[in-house]
Amino acid sequence: MKRDQWLIVGAVLIAVLIAFPLRTIVYKIIVVPIAYLIWGIYLLYRLTPQVIWWILLFLLIVISLGNSLIPENYIVHKVPLKLKSPQGPVEALAMWMKKSRGGVYFKWLIANRLGKLAYQMLAQREAHHIRSVFEPLTSAEWTPPKPVQDYLEAGLHGSFADFPQAPSLWAKSAPTPLDHDIADVVQALESQDMK
């Protein structure tokens, strides 16, 4: 027999052993009050004239029909919900930068956004060449520093899952390309945009 079956058999045996000594207590505390309650409800039903029961049933049906037929806007004045104003891209980026101190995911979101920006800059420069998103960010005029290039490539072609968190709260995570200073990346993109 499996462990679950042994537990069920044990529970049934314990219930049987306890049931006989406690049957008078259960009878006095549970069975008798429930029997009196059922008897009282039945007595009330028998003493009340049938006309009253029919009137109560009719009123219940009329109220149910009335609730389903009356439009909701007629009775209830709904209070309009106060919705949060939508976030713009700059506001979202600022929030990600604030949260990036705590984890890899928001660092990757920022790197992804900047990598897409670098891709769009290259695509605009090479209007004659249809550029794939999966191509490396390289071009003859594109000369960002190597750490910035690694940062942009990690954001555009990588995933936050490629950079696992630290194994514990006290351990420091290994450095990744996503740890590069965002200000340097923005400056490098601005200098590439001037060319």
Residue by residue, what is the 3-state secondary structure of 5-55? Answer: HHHHHHHHHHHHHHHHHHHHHHHHHHHHHHHHHHHHHHHHHHHCCHHHHHH
Query: pLDDT averaged over the chain?
Result: 80
DSSP line for 56-122? HHHHHHHHHHHHHHS-HHHH--PPPP-PPPPPPHHHHHHHHHHHTTT-HHHHHHHHHHHHHHHHHHH
- Residues counted in the chain: 195
Instruction: Give the contacts of 96 (CB within 8 A, at least 6 positions apart).
Output: 106, 109, 110, 113
My answer on whether 102 and 173 are in the same domain is yes
Query: In the predicted model, is pLDDT for residue 124 greater than 70?
Result: yes
Place of tokens 């409800």: 41
My answer on whether 63 and 132 are in the same domain is no
pLDDT, mean of residues 112-136:
78
The answer to whether residue 168 sits within a structural domain is: yes
My answer on whether 56 and 134 are in the same domain is no
The answer to whether residue 190 sits within a structural domain is: yes
Confidence of residue 158 (pLDDT cuts 50, 70, 90): confident
My answer on whether 112 and 182 are in the same domain is yes
Q: Which of 26, 50, 75 is the last residue of a domain?
A: 75
Please give the residue range of the domain that contains residue 108: 89-194
Higher pLDDT, 2 or 44: 44
Query: In the predicted model, is pLDDT for residue 194 greater than 60?
Result: no
My answer on whether 51 and 139 are in the same domain is no
In whole angstroms, how large is the CA radius of gyration of the chain?
A: 37
My answer on whether 42 and 138 are in the same domain is no
My answer on whether 165 and 111 are in the same domain is yes
Domain count for the chain, please give it. Answer: 2
Confidence of residue 130 (pLDDT cuts 50, 70, 90): confident
My answer on whether 143 and 109 are in the same domain is yes
